[in-house]
C-alpha cells in the first residue's frame, strides 16, 4: 500500500490496521515498509484483512490518509 508525504523535516510514517498500530519491527518477516509504503508478505485473510490508514508526522504535525480496505475474495 502506498503512502507519501512531504515536509521539513522529512515525515516519519506508521500504519494502522483496524485502529491498531502495525508493528513493523516485531513482524518484519510479514510486514515491511519502504519509504512510507507498506508491503505485506504472504498475506492471510485472518491476519491482514481490514482497514488500513497511513499516518505521517513530524514536529509540525500529523496527517492521516484515507482508509484503504483490504478484502479477500
Instruction: Give per-residue pLDDT as tens, 39-55.
Output: 999 999 999 999 999 99
- Number of compact structural domains in the chain: 1
- Type and span of the H or E element at 37: strand 37-40
d(CA 36, CA 11) in angstroms, rounded, equals 9
Q: Look up the domain containing 39 and give its range.
A: 12-70
| Residue 26, pLDDT score | 80
Residue 59 belongs to domain with CATH number? 2.60.40.10
Cell 522529512 found at: 10
- 30 lies in some domain: yes
- 55 lies in some domain: yes
Q: What is the pLDDT of residues 5-27, one digit of tens each?
A: 999 999 999 999 999 999 988 87
Q: Is the pLDDT of residue 28 over 80?
A: no
d(CA 4, CA 2) in angstroms, rounded, equals 7
- 6 lies in some domain: no
- 57 lies in some domain: yes
| Residue 73, pLDDT score | 84
Listed residue (70, 72, 38) closest to 55, CA to CA: 38
pTM (two decimals): 0.90
d(CA 57, CA 10) in angstroms, rounded, equals 9
C-alpha cell at 5: 508525504
Amino acid at each position: 500500500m502506498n503512502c507519501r508525504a512531504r515536509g521539513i523535516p522529512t515525515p516519519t510514517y506508521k500504519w494502522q490496521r483496524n485502529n491498531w498500530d502495525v508493528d513493523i519491527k516485531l513482524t518484519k518477516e510479514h510486514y515491511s515498509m519502504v519509504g512510507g509504503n507498506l508491503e505485506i508478505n504472504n498475506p492471510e485473510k485472518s491476519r491482514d484483512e481490514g482497514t488500513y490508514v497511513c499516518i505521517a508526522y513530524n514536529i509540525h504535525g500529523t496527517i492521516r490518509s484515507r482508509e484503504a480496505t483490504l478484502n479477500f475474495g
